[in-house]
């Protein structure tokens, strides 16, 4: 894990020669309910970068909602649309667009998608929480906000899927614990971990003080070796 994070960071994506981050894009990944969109929006507000939700790009391209694609055309068709949208987005990042991106819960699990993202040298962040907490958040959003998640299913299916997917998410360069923290706290920690500063106001967004869930229990933020690599590159003058 440490080795992997180092080799990715050493491609020079994360540290600039002036010691500041030159990351062009940050991709947030994790299971349903991880807080990818809430954290992404808040992080984008703080950094002054554009935010993008990959599911929204899919919906624009397909002219229908994610749950409609699932219902009318099935998951295989959705995954094809997801990959096409991702390729388009990566093309924009390669052309120089800065973006904070929230991926759908299954996007990084698809081998080819992960390969494309890793090849592009994107800073990936796994937003982590226990499966029980994720379930509570998703159930809450379904009941309260009528958020439709085609793969939500039963608690036992949700648990099985989470178990299968977690090793994929764990490939992300950065890991960020989210339980017991407000969106704003997560963003502050994350900006520090990645080595990006918000530069200006300490709190611009209204979403920033919201908690990701009504329940909270503490856990600590985990960093991979990428952070150490950034610091090492800075010490060495960061010429890669
Ligand atoms: C999916 C998660 C959803 C959406 C689609 C598939 C998944 O996004 O992309 O329903 O496979 O876990 P969220 O993670 O934002 O709910």
> In angstroms, how far is CA 7 from the centroid of its own chain?
20
Q: What is the pLDDT of residue 234?
A: 34
Contact 173, 127 (CB under 8 A): no
Residues 62-91, mean pLDDT to the nearest whole number: 97
**DSSP per position, 10-75:** IIIIS--TTSS----EEEEE-STTS-HHHHHHHHHHHHT--EEEHHHHHHHHHTS-HHHHHHHH-H
CA proximity to 193, closest of 126, 94, 115: 126
Cα atoms in the Cβ-side hemisphere of radius 13 Å centred on 7: 6
Q: What is the pLDDT of residue 212?
A: 60
Which of 106, 150, 168, 212 is the best mutation target for the ligand 1 pocket, counting ligand atoms within 8 Å of the beta carbon and taking the most? 106
3-state secondary structure of 101: strand
CA of 3 to the centre of ligand 1 (A): 29
Angstrom CA distances, 11 to 23, 113, 123, 233, stand at 11, 19, 11, 11
Check if 32 has its Cβ closer than 6 Å to any atom of ligand 1.
yes
Residues present in the chain in total: 240
Question: From atom 16 of ligand 1, which residue's Cα is the shortest distance away?
Answer: 32
CA of 149 to the centre of ligand 1 (A): 7
**What whole-number distance in Å separates Cα of residue 22 and Cα of residue 27?**
14
> In angstroms, how far is CA 239 from the centroid of its own chain?
27
Domains and CATH numbers, the chain: 2-228 (3.40.50.300)
Q: What is the pLDDT of residue 23?
A: 62
pLDDT in tens, 110-162: 999 999 999 999 999 999 999 999 999 999 999 998 899 999 999 999 999 99
Residues 180-186, mean pLDDT to the nearest whole number: 96
Q: What is the pLDDT of residue 196?
A: 80
Check if 142 has its Cβ closer than 6 Å to any atom of ligand 1.
no
Residue by residue, what is the 3-state secondary structure of 155-190? Answer: HHHHHHHHHHHHHHHCCCCEEEECCCCEHHHHHHHH
Least confident range from 14-23, 46-55, 185-194, 223-232: namely 223-232
Sheet holding 123-128, edge to edge: 51-53, 99-102, 25-29, 123-128, 174-177
Question: From atom 1 of ligand 1, which residue's Cα is the shortest distance away?
Answer: 105
User: Residue 13: is its pLDDT beyond 90?
Assistant: no
Q: What is the pLDDT of residue 189?
A: 95
In the predicted model, what is the mean pLDDT of the chain? Answer: 81
pLDDT in tens, 22-52: 568 999 999 999 999 999 999 999 999 999 9
Per the structure block, which two tokens stand in for 61?
A: 């391209």
218 phi, psi to nearest 5 deg = -85, 150
Q: What is the pLDDT of residue 210?
A: 60
User: Residue 198: is its pLDDT beyond 90?
Assistant: no
Q: What is the pLDDT of residue 195?
A: 86
Better-scored residue on pLDDT, 18 or 218: 18
Q: What is the pLDDT of residue 155?
A: 95
């Amino acid at each position: 894990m440490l080795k992997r994070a180092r080799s990715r960071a050493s491609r020079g994506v994360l540290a600039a020669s002036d010691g500041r981050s030159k990351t062009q894009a940050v991709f947030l990944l994790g299971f349903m309910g991880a807080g990818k969109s809430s954290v992404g929006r808040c992080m984008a507000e703080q950094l002054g970068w554009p935010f993008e939700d990959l599911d929204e790009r899919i919906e624009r391209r397909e002219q229908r909602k994610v749950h409609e694609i699932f219902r009318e055309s099935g998951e295989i068709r959705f995954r094809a649309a997801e990959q096409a949208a991702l390729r388009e987005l990566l093309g924009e990042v390669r052309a120089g667009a800065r973006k904070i991106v929230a991926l759908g819960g299954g996007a990084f699990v698809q081998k080819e998608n992960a390969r494309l993202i890793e090849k592009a040298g994107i800073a990936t962040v796994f937003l982590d929480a226990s499966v029980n907490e994720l379930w509570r958040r998703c159930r809450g959003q379904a009941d309260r906000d009528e958020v439709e998640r085609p793969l939500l299913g039963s608690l036992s299916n949700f648990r099985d899927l989470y178990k299968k997917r977690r090793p994929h998410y764990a490939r992300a360069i950065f890991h960020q614990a989210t339980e017991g923290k407000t969106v704003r706290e997560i963003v502050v920690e994350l900006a520090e971990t990645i080595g990006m500063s918000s530069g200006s106001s300490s709190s611009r967004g209204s979403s920033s003080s919201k908690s990701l869930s009504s329940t909270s229990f503490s856990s600590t933020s985990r960093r991979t070796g990428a952070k150490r690599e950034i610091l090492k590159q800075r010490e060495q003058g960061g010429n890669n």
